[in-house]
Structure 1
Amino acid sequence: MTTASDDRTTDLIRWAVFTCLLVPVVLLWYGSSLAGATGTALGLAAVTAACRLLLRRSERCAARSERCATRSPVEYPAPHTAQAPHRGRSRHSGTGCHRGSRHSGGTSPVD
């Protein structure tokens, strides 16, 4: 199934590849050296490939996030209800750097 996002991404990548081919031709047309035009083409191709990877990864993460947001509560495991045993005089339970923290430890983004 192809979505509108996939179509836009594919079009964007096609235009990027087109410019990777067009820029060296224009450089040669205006008198640049073959080595300079080749180096420019390779640099543009590397940047295009990196951007394509990042764009596809971003799309996968967004799709995964969307799937998680639409899950029904039944699919999530039941929360752990047992409390940690009381240790010593302190009223804090738990261990390590999480003890006494005011943060919930959730995965919500920071604004």
Structure 2
Amino acid sequence: MAGQQSQDTTTEVVRWAAFSCVLVPVVLLGYGTSLAGAAGTALGLAAVTAVCRVLLRRSERVAAGAAAEKRPVPPQHRGHRQRAGAGTHRGSRHSGGNTPGG
């Protein structure tokens, strides 16, 4: 679901950028800029839009791949570490022998 939402967001960004590639030169022509200047601006905006679209799509693929590779991390035990060998019974209850009064 989140992947679909990011694709929709990317599509919207690209659509608005394409809209501005048309709108900005029209506004520039309205304010008296030459046709060559408006056309150059349109080409520049189109190039930037195309590069941004490629980069957005690539980042979506990388993010999707990273999400697919992510494995759940096993929970860590927060208790005392147990040691093998002679001192393993430290702090535990013992029956017989060393208890006072017993």
Q: How many angstroms does 1:70 deviate by?
A: 3.4
Aligned match of 2:96: none
Take 2:59 and 2:49, find their aligned partners in 1: how far apart are those partners?
A: 15
Residue 57 of structure 2 aligns to which amino acid in structure 1? R
Take 2:28 and 2:44, find their aligned partners in 1: how far apart are those partners?
A: 14
- What per-residue deviation string (whole Å, max 9, x for no partner) do you get for residues 38-58 of structure 1? 000000000000000001000
Residue 31 of structure 2 aligns to which amino acid in structure 1? Y
- With structure 2 as the length reference, what TM-score do the two structures score? 0.66
Q: How many angstroms does 1:32 deviate by?
A: 0.2
Kindly indicate whether structure 1 or structure 2 has the higher relative contact order, using CA contacts under 8 Å at least 6 residues apart.
2
- With structure 1 as the length reference, what TM-score do the two structures score? 0.61
Take 1:28 and 1:14, find their aligned partners in 2: how far apart are those partners?
A: 22
Take 2:6 and 2:23, find their aligned partners in 1: how far apart are those partners?
A: 26
Take 2:71 and 2:44, find their aligned partners in 1: how far apart are those partners?
A: 41
SS of residue paired to 1:32: coil
Take 1:18 and 1:30, find their aligned partners in 2: how far apart are those partners?
A: 19
Take 1:39 and 1:14, find their aligned partners in 2: how far apart are those partners?
A: 20
Residue 23 of structure 1 aligns to which amino acid in structure 2? V
- Is 1:29 aligned to 2:33, yes or no? no
- Is 1:12 aligned to 2:13, yes or no? yes
Question: Any runs of at least 4 consecutive aligned residues in structure 1 with deviations exceeding 3 A, and if so which?
Answer: none
Take 1:18 and 1:70, find their aligned partners in 2: how far apart are those partners?
A: 41
RMSD: 1.8
- For the pair shown, the structure with the greater C-alpha radius of gyration is 2
Residue 48 of structure 2 aligns to which amino acid in structure 1? V
Could you list the runs of 5+ residues in structure 1 that have no partner in the other structure? 72-111
Aligned match of 1:53: 54
Take 2:60 and 2:50, find their aligned partners in 1: how far apart are those partners?
A: 15
Take 2:62 and 2:55, find their aligned partners in 1: how far apart are those partners?
A: 10
